[in-house]
Amino acid sequence: MLLPIRKYRPEDSEYLCPRAIEMLLHNTDSWREWAKLNAVTGPAYTCEIDGKPVVSAGVRILKADNGEMVGWPWFVMNEDARKYRFSLFRMTKHILLMLAREFNLSRLVTDSQKGFDASQRLLEHLGFRRLPNETKIQYFYEMRL
């Protein structure tokens, strides 16, 4: 199934974050600043079903100290995304690889909250591997391209 996507807008997060699968986004206003940051630091897209955002995802483009171009992917999705998980998975992997080629990224790095098993499974299915360094609340992941 092909799902409709469009450019991400920060107001997409106003709908998604209070309904997000990731519970940490429900009870905080910090996602408002996060949404603004995501809108300006790299390409991002939203998938809508019946005119409502189901998932927004993008890649922040960063330049490492050694000059290497690195992407920091981010995702936010609501419960409706579970109904379309296989289509969303294929679309997400395709978009990540397309953006990596377009921006000449050598790797993708991201984090995942500990205890958010669905996030860790998604990252591993996408081809990320968990790095040995972690904090008290998060794991870090990398995909070499």
Q: What is the mean pLDDT of residues 26-31?
A: 65
Which residue segment(s) compose the domain that 71 sits in?
5-144
CA separation for the pair 65, 80 (Å, rounded): 39
pLDDT at 75 over 80: yes
What is the share, in percent, of the chain residues with pLDDT greater than 70?
Answer: 94
Question: Domain of 125: which CATH number?
Answer: 3.40.630.30
Which residue has 């972690």 as its token pair? 134
Number of domains present in the structure of the chain: 1
Q: Are strands 138-144 and 107-113 parallel, antiparallel or unpaired?
A: antiparallel
pLDDT at 139 over 90: yes
CA separation for the pair 118, 14 (Å, rounded): 22
pTM for the predicted model, two decimal places: 0.84
pLDDT at 29 over 70: no
Evaluate whether 25 touches 17 at the Cβ level (below 8 Å): yes
